[in-house]
Structure 1
Amino acid sequence: MKILKFGGKSLANGKGIKTAIQIIRDKAKQQEDIAVVLSARGNATDELLEMLEKAAHKESYHEQFTAFKAYQSQIDRAVDFSEEFTTLENLFQGVSLLGDYSEKIKDQVVSQGEIIAAKLVTNLLKKEGVNAHFTDARNLIKTDNVFGNARPLDVISRKNVINHFKSHNGTTVNIVTGFIGSNQNNETTTLGRNGSNYTAALLANFLDAEELQNYTHVDGIFTANPDLVADAKKIEELSFNEANELANFGANILHAKTIVPLIEKNIPLRILNTFNSSDEGTIIKQKTIKKGIKSISVLDNVALVNLEGGGLLGRVGVDARIFKTLGEKDINVSIISQGSSERGIGLVIDANQASNAIIALEREFENDFYTKDVNKISVIDDVAVISIVGQNLSEFHKPYNALIKNQIVPILFNNTVSGKNVSLVVKKTQLHKAINVIHGQIFGISKKINIAVFGKGLVGGTLLDQIVQSKKDILDKNNIKLNVFAVADSQHVYLDKNGIADNWQETFPKEKVAYTVQQIIDYAKNNHLENLIAVDTTASKEFIHNYISLVNNGFDLVSANKIANTVEYSFYDTLRKELKKHQKNYLYETNVGAGLPLIDTIKLLHKSGEKIKKIRGVFSGSLSYLFNTFSVEDVEFSTVLKQAEEKGFTEPDAREDLSGNDVARKLLILARELDLKHEFSDITIQNLLPVHLQAISLQKFKNNITDLDQTYKLIKANQQKNHVLRYVGDLSTETGVLEVKLISVPSNSALGQIKGSDSIFEIYTEAYKEQPLVIQGAGAGAAVTARGVFGDILRLTEKL
């Protein structure tokens, strides 16, 4: 025999009830030996409880009750529900008069949902030619007198079930009410949470069933709740022990008491989707072949009770008093965490029982408060428990570190004696994000990196196009999903938590809204986005003041904007302290040398203890092109400058390059990497422009750039033979002098032989005294800079 159990959504009006009837009919026609257990249909149980509460508060429930009766009768008006509806009406009226109700009354009310469901399904099956028999479980499952969470009396219930099925066997399909039973006085009781599944498991045990099939609205059990984790995957099989752990820690589809009767008889449980007949679901059995982490489950209706006291140090039996006190109030503890001294004890319990727990514990430890052995008994109710079933403690550092990187610090954690399951208590506001971080880390499903790009100009736009073109390859090769959720210019932002469109240039004008950076931060929080990176491709002096706020709110930083590293040292230092405090990263390789690996190299040398004595180089790709071309071609200086502007090598106002400020900023960045606390004003800068061209309008400057030609013609002519002009930055750690200047060098030297817009850097150290370490390559252009920024993003993904 197989036991089929159908949940409320599988029995809801419309496709649900029709599909459920079809499944039962088909199995019956194929002469399968089956029995069917039913939950209340749709949201019947919740609706009945809502009406009961309204009645208790003397609020009107009549309109809702009318709608309830219409819904339950809609499928087959021939079914007589008058007895059930009259019972409910009388109960509601009585509760309304009293203004209160007992657990006994509550059981009588909610039991009607299962009775109505079983009556309806029985009648519908009979119309389909199935020999269906309505079976009221109150006549079979006998329980103790605990209303609301009754315990079945095994011997008498087993006898009743066996005798009933002997009388109604063969071609008969018993349609059994789940969730309900009755005590020895024939008073209605309910079996508590997951009660219908429990009924099905008991029948399977009593009847030695071949399999219990639980029909739900999902394909089975998943690695996490798909409502919380979009990337959750279905689990093909679980062992009873693993299922039991999941049930204990919040898997809605399971309950520990459901598993126990199946374990006793080694009866497999299969979770199936009523609406997807092609899927084989998840099977739960004695043993499974696959080992390792199986799933992440959540308990979110919990509270954390803390008992603290300096006087508890070394005292024996405190925990025994706690459990005795809570046990007397039927309060179950799901997690306990304490030090060996028992100085502080944390208990996770059902949130609905928190107030009773505090009152009971305060009474028990009343004398200890007077002696000051106990300082405080408190409750934190905005918490949730995340349990990783199958987590080996030796590997727990991986998800734990991932949480810390995302600024989620567990309040406490607990592991089982077997060391194969770990539970974490986190703030409920962080639950959604936390479970996604853990899931992405432990299941090897693509790691999702959520990126906000500030600046969609030449570099930012090129970067976005590069991400669009490369994201599929990165996902396939590295299992990393780059999700750009925000693109912003100085005034507007385009937001999409699932990722901007590939044709973002066309979509931005349609979707853009005015914004503040705080609104983007809030958007990330509200959508529980993890692994956050803020990318600054602006040249804004104002935007850098958002860096600290972004860091404080969980963002790592990638920047092509040099200003944050070259403003006053106090800001520079504060930013790094905040980065360290929040364990965030700040990558800015493109600040000097575009896409060249210069800053990383200098950091590595410096951290390794290699003393860097001097750095000299051509820092500006635009000025490199300018003087490389001017030095070897018979051409006017102004003509080469125009060519550099047209190629996009210079800033929109070329005076930013010619002033030497850009090179000076880059030199200052390197100096600060070497722990020199210089300010911009400490740098000696040779401005390449005469004074009369420095302060005029941009248009006037462009009209008068030929004024430069005679000056640089003379400079070029006065060089030694086989020499070329180079505009360099020069840093000496020994003297602390930083200079930006135009020099003449031999054409066959390292500086002299560069071509095009290449940058070149000579690094002199104790190991590289005579022959410096040379880094050379393309130093200008939006594509090169964007590729460098992209490289920083990918480096960060390895750290997250």
Structure 2
Amino acid sequence: MKILKFGGKSLANGEGLQKVIQTIAQKYFNNEAITVVVSARGNATDELLILLKKAQANIEFKSDFEQFKTYQLEGLKANIFEEEFLILHKLFEGVSLLGDYSEKISDQVIAFGEILSAKYIAHFLNENSIKAQFTDTRQLIKTDDNFGDAQPLEGISKQNVITYFENNQDKINIVTGFIGSNLHNETTTLGRNGSNYTASLLANYLDAEEFQNYTNVDGIFTANPDLVADAKKIERLSFNEANELATFGTQILHAKTIIPLVEKNIPLRILNTFNTESNGTLITSEQTNEGIKSLSVLTNVSLINLEGRGLLGKTGVDARIFRVLAENDISVSIISQGSSERGIGLVVNSDKSAKALAGLKKEFETDFYTKDVHNISVNDTIAVISIIGQDLTNFHKSYNALIRNKITPILVNNTITGRNISLVIHQDEFKRALNVIHGEIFGVAKKVNIAIFGHGTVGGTLIEQILASAKNIETKKGIRLNIFAIANSKKVLLNKSGINHDWKIALENEVQNYSIDEVISYAKEHHLENLIAIDNTASKVFVSNYIPLAENGFDLISSNKVANTIDFESYKKLRNVLEQNQKEYLYETNVGAGLPLIDTIKLLHLSGENITKIKGVFSGTLSYLFNQFSSQDKKFSEVLQEAIDKGFTEPDPREDLNGNDVGRKLLILARELDLQNEFEEVQIQNLIPTNLRDGNASDFIQKLAELDEVYQNIKDKQEPNHVLRYIGELSGDLQQEKGNLEVKLISVPATSSLGSLRGSDSIFEIYTESYGEQPIVIQGAGAGASVTARGVFGDILRLTNKN
């Protein structure tokens, strides 16, 4: 025989009820021996409790009761519940008159959820030519007098069940779950997960072949699919693993459900009423492969903290604590104990926390007076995440992932078996924490949530590059790049599921004005993990957002050079904040666009290599300008106009020619060597004659010819076979606090590494003590939106690999 149990959602009116009938009918006509255990249909139990509370408060309940009756009778041709509805009405009227009710009355009322359900199914099956009969477990399962959470009396219950089923084998028995009766025939209920418990008891007593538990999900998952979109179904579990899952909060199971099945080695299969194609999760005595099985969550729990220096070394303190809890019928799910400063943390159900607090304060009243205890408090805003199958050997991976995402557990607890770890987390962080741990453990694609600020030439190119490459990166690297925010100075587009190729239109339709706090709040509200903020602006103002972003869990990537060239005090403050919050800040494109320059310098410096000088052509625009001017017989204004026409320069070419951009880049490299120079200390040769520095861009462009004589004279005065290059140079004793930073136009041999530069390439020479006069040379495309965007993209991938 197989025991089938159907939950309340499966039995709800509509599709669920139809699927249940179809499943029973199919097994019946296949001549399978089955017994069916049912929960209350839909939300019947909750609705009965609401009616009971309304009656207690003398609030009008009759209209709600009529709605309840209508729902329970839907699909039936006649009222088969007249007796049950009459009893319920009398009970509600009695409670209304008394203004109160006991656990005994509560059990009697809510038991009707299962009674109505079982009678309904039995009646419906018979109307469809399937022989079935209503079986009331109040006549079979005998319990103690603990109303609300009664315990079965095994001997008498087992004999009742065996005798009943021996005499009733010709029909399908539709059995009420959740309920029983005491030896005085008073209705009792079996507590949480009681219908599953009823089914597992019947399976045990009747030596069933299998217990099939039909729910509204495909089985047991690596995490609750409602909380973790990437959760995967677990095909097989052992009873021990299932028991751990049940103990630590998995809703489908309860620990007491497992025990009767273990005794008789009866397999349990979790199935989906609504998906007959799924084979569910099979739970047997066979041990599965070791490893982490699932993440479970306990909510509606509270943390009781007892602290006191004076209790250190005193015996009997723990006994006093647990005696108080036992006297108040309070179960403890997690215990954490400190020794250096005596303290104990206890996790209990939230509905018991006030009672626990009051009891402990009374017990330790004298200890407060002697100051042995200085605090007993309760924290109701917590949740517990348990990692089933986790041992301490690689727990650091999950823990580090939490810390990277600015989630700090309140306490960590390891079970005696060493195979399960529980984390007490702030309640407002547990969903994000669950996703972070799940992504770290189960090898699903790690989701990286990206906010992009600035969508101009570089930013827009980067967005399209990410969207075009996202699927390939997920397949090859297991990294899911999710752009959840795109913003400019006025508008922001937010989408937790990811922004797609129509982002320009969508952003245009957004309302103007936003603050960085809105982006931060959105990420928190939607529990987004592995956050990266990318600054593709050139804004001095936006840099002020770096610190709040880092403090709220964002790693930073920037093509904006401002943050690395602000005053040294602000520069160090940002670095301190990043360090304190364990956040990364990458900016490879600040110098050399997509060239691996900054990383190379960082590695050399970190390894202890003494860098003695850095020299190079830092500007792709000025590289093109002087490469063309030096190699061609053209006027300087003609070459500059070509650069303007090709879009190589800024809209105002003076922003390139004044040398400030090269100066900022040089300062960035100096600070990578821990030099404390300020931008004002960079000696910059401005390429714009004094008389052309004022006025607007169009006026300047009209006067380009005035540059020709100046630069032709410079070109003519060179030695033979020399060319002009506009360079940045860092020199001096670079082991001191400050170096010498110069930006200048020089003449170099055409055959030198600087002189052989072509097109708009950049080149950098890094001189070190070890390499002597032979510099490390890094050369390549140093400008262009595509190259810069690709460099930022590289920083994204570099950052995800670090994480």
TM-score normalised by L of structure 1: 0.98
Provide the residue aligned with 2:111 in structure 1: 111
Provide the residue aligned with 2:460 in structure 1: 461
CA pair 67-512 structure 1, distance change in 2 beyond 3 A: same
Partner Cα separation in structure 2 for residue 637 and residue 359 of structure 1: 87
CA pair 230-733 structure 1, distance change in 2 beyond 3 A: farther
Q: Is this contact kept in 2: 1:304–1:383, CA < 8 A?
A: yes
Q: Is this contact kept in 1: 2:658–2:686, CA < 8 A?
A: yes
SS at match of 1:391: coil
The answer to whether structure 1 residue 745 and structure 2 residue 744 are counterparts is no
The answer to whether structure 1 residue 659 and structure 2 residue 655 are counterparts is no
The one-letter code of the counterpart of 1:637 is F
Shift of residue 411 of structure 1?
0.4
The answer to whether structure 1 residue 687 and structure 2 residue 690 are counterparts is no
Provide the residue aligned with 2:17 in structure 1: 17
Query: What does the per-residue CA deviation read over 1:520-578, in whole Å, with 9 as the maximum and x for residues that have no partner?
Result: 11111100000000000010111111111111111000000000111111211111110
Q: Is this contact kept in 2: 1:447–1:480, CA < 8 A?
A: yes
Equivalent residue runs for 1:313-712 within 5 Å: 313-340=312-339, 343-511=342-510, 514-712=513-711
Q: Is this contact kept in 2: 1:468–1:502, CA < 8 A?
A: yes
Q: Is this contact kept in 2: 1:315–1:341, CA < 8 A?
A: no
Q: Is this contact kept in 2: 1:158–1:206, CA < 8 A?
A: yes
Shift of residue 616 of structure 1?
0.9
TM-score normalised by L of structure 2: 0.98
Partner Cα separation in structure 2 for residue 341 and residue 627 of structure 1: 70
Query: What does the per-residue CA deviation read over 1:269-328, in whole Å, with 9 as the maximum and x for residues that have no partner?
Result: 100000111110001111243321110000011000011111111122222221221112
Q: Is this contact kept in 1: 2:309–2:341, CA < 8 A?
A: no
The answer to whether structure 1 residue 247 and structure 2 residue 220 are counterparts is no
Provide the residue aligned with 2:766 in structure 1: 763
Provide the residue aligned with 1:132 in structure 2: 132
Query: What does the per-residue CA deviation read over 1:370-409, in whole Å, with 9 as the maximum and x for residues that have no partner?
Result: 2221111110010000001111210100000000000000
Partner Cα separation in structure 2 for residue 174 and residue 656 of structure 1: 87
Q: Is this contact kept in 2: 1:318–1:342, CA < 8 A?
A: no
Bigger mean CA offset, 23-32 vs 229-238: 23-32
Q: Is this contact kept in 2: 1:143–1:150, CA < 8 A?
A: yes
Provide the residue aligned with 2:71 in structure 1: 71
Provide the residue aligned with 1:3 in structure 2: 3
Shift of residue 516 of structure 1?
1.4
Partner Cα separation in structure 1 for residue 563 and residue 510 of structure 2: 30
Shift of residue 58 of structure 1?
2.6
Query: What does the per-residue CA deviation read over 1:308-351, in whole Å, with 9 as the maximum and x for residues that have no partner?
Result: 11111112222222122111211110000112468110001101
Provide the residue aligned with 1:191 in structure 2: 190
Shift of residue 365 of structure 1?
1.6
Shift of residue 25 of structure 1?
1.2
The one-letter code of the counterpart of 2:50 is E
The one-letter code of the counterpart of 1:654 is P
The one-letter code of the counterpart of 1:325 is V
Partner Cα separation in structure 1 for residue 56 and residue 643 of structure 2: 81
Partner Cα separation in structure 1 for residue 288 and residue 11 of structure 2: 34
The answer to whether structure 1 residue 267 and structure 2 residue 270 are counterparts is no
The answer to whether structure 1 residue 226 and structure 2 residue 225 are counterparts is yes
Equivalent residue runs for 1:256-335 within 5 Å: 256-335=255-334
Q: Is this contact kept in 1: 2:250–2:297, CA < 8 A?
A: yes
Q: Is this contact kept in 1: 2:493–2:510, CA < 8 A?
A: yes
The one-letter code of the counterpart of 2:363 is E
Shift of residue 692 of structure 1?
1.9
Partner Cα separation in structure 2 for residue 364 and residue 5 of structure 1: 45
SS at match of 2:704: coil
Q: Is this contact kept in 2: 1:114–1:179, CA < 8 A?
A: yes
Q: Is this contact kept in 1: 2:613–2:766, CA < 8 A?
A: yes
Provide the residue aligned with 1:775 in structure 2: 778
Bigger mean CA offset, 756-765 vs 200-209: 756-765
Q: Is this contact kept in 2: 1:79–1:120, CA < 8 A?
A: no
Shift of residue 733 of structure 1?
4.3
SS at match of 1:9: coil
Partner Cα separation in structure 2 for residue 341 and residue 322 of structure 1: 19
Query: What does the per-residue CA deviation read over 1:423-457, in whole Å, with 9 as the maximum and x for residues that have no partner?
Result: 10000000110000000000000000000000110
SS at match of 2:393: helix
Partner Cα separation in structure 2 for residue 60 and residue 513 of structure 1: 50
Shift of residue 731 of structure 1?
0.9
- Structure 1: any 5+ residue segments left out of the alignment? none
Query: What does the per-residue CA deviation read over 1:242-275, in whole Å, with 9 as the maximum and x for residues that have no partner?
Result: 1111101110100000011111111111000001
Q: Is this contact kept in 1: 2:763–2:779, CA < 8 A?
A: yes
Partner Cα separation in structure 2 for residue 451 and residue 246 of structure 1: 34
Partner Cα separation in structure 2 for residue 21 and residue 301 of structure 1: 35
Partner Cα separation in structure 2 for residue 615 and residue 568 of structure 1: 22
Q: Is this contact kept in 1: 2:649–2:656, CA < 8 A?
A: yes
Q: Is this contact kept in 2: 1:217–1:275, CA < 8 A?
A: yes
Provide the residue aligned with 2:167 in structure 1: 167
Partner Cα separation in structure 1 for residue 732 and residue 126 of structure 2: 93
Root mean square deviation of aligned Cα: 1.2
Provide the residue aligned with 1:799 in structure 2: 802
Provide the residue aligned with 1:788 in structure 2: 791
Q: Is this contact kept in 2: 1:358–1:378, CA < 8 A?
A: yes
Shift of residue 79 of structure 1?
4.0
The one-letter code of the counterpart of 2:344 is I
Identity %: 63
Q: Is this contact kept in 2: 1:492–1:514, CA < 8 A?
A: yes
Q: Is this contact kept in 1: 2:383–2:426, CA < 8 A?
A: yes
Q: Is this contact kept in 2: 1:4–1:34, CA < 8 A?
A: yes
Q: Is this contact kept in 1: 2:653–2:697, CA < 8 A?
A: no
Partner Cα separation in structure 2 for residue 643 and residue 420 of structure 1: 69
Query: What does the per-residue CA deviation read over 1:39-93, in whole Å, with 9 as the maximum and x for residues that have no partner?
Result: 0000111111122222222323222222111111112142421222222222222
Q: Is this contact kept in 2: 1:314–1:342, CA < 8 A?
A: no
